[in-house]
Amino acid sequence: MVIITPTIQLNDSELQFSFIRSPGPGGQNVNKVASAVLLRFNVVESSSLPPDVRTRLLALFHAKLTAAGEILIKATRFRTQERNKLDAIERLRHMIQKAVTPPKKRRKTKPTYTSTLRRLSSKKLRGKTKSFRGKKSVGHD
C-alpha cells in the first residue's frame, strides 16, 4: 500500500515493477545484476484515484504517458534494486501529489491608473524622438 495523502492510497497490485540492467555505476556487477527498476502505473484504469485527480494527472504529465495511459518511471540512480524501487515509488508519489492540489483560479486585474499614465507618457516620448528622424521638409522662401 503506497500512501499518497490521508485519503488516497494506491494498492500494490496497481504498480507493476520490472527489473532491467542499469547503465549507471556498479563495477563488476553492472553486467550481471538487474538493479534498475521500471515502474508502470496505469492512470486510466486505477481505481484508487478520484476522477478529478486522474484528469489533472493526465493533463499534467501527458508527455510521460504511453498510449495505454500508463506512467513509466525508470529509476537507475542507485546501485541496489531495493533503493531504485523506493526511488521510483517516491517519484510517482510526488507526481500524484502535484495533481492532488487543484490549480489556483486566475483573478483578472487591471493596471493601475498611474502605471497606465506612465506607459502612455513613455510612448509619447518615444514617438517624439522618432519623429525627429524623418525627412526634413524643404521650405519655400
Q: Which pLDDT does position 26 carry in this prediction? A: 61
Q: Is residue 132 part of a domain?
A: no
Ramachandran bin of 122, using left for φ above 0, alpha for ψ from -120 to 50, beta for the remaining angles: alpha
Number of domains making up the chain? 1
Kindly give, in sequence order, each residue whose CB lies less than 8 Å from that of residue 136, ignoring residues fewer than 6 positions away. Answer: none
Mean pLDDT by 10 residues, the chain (141 residues): 77 81 68 82 83 86 83 86 90 88 90 96 94 75 55
- CATH number, domain of 90, equals 3.30.160.20
Q: Which pLDDT does position 30 carry in this prediction? A: 67
What are the backbone angles phi and psi of residue 14, rounded to the nearest 5°?
-85, -15
In the numeric block, which cell numbers belong to residue 136? 526634413
Q: Is residue 59 part of a domain?
A: yes
Q: Is residue 17 part of a domain?
A: yes
Q: Is residue 79 part of a domain?
A: yes
Domain that residue 61 falls in: 2-100
Q: Please indicate, yes or no, whether the overall pTM of this predicted structure exceeds 0.85.
A: no
Q: Residue 21 CB: number of other CB atoms within 10 A?
A: 14
In the chain, the amino acid numbered 56 is R
Q: Is residue 89 part of a domain?
A: yes
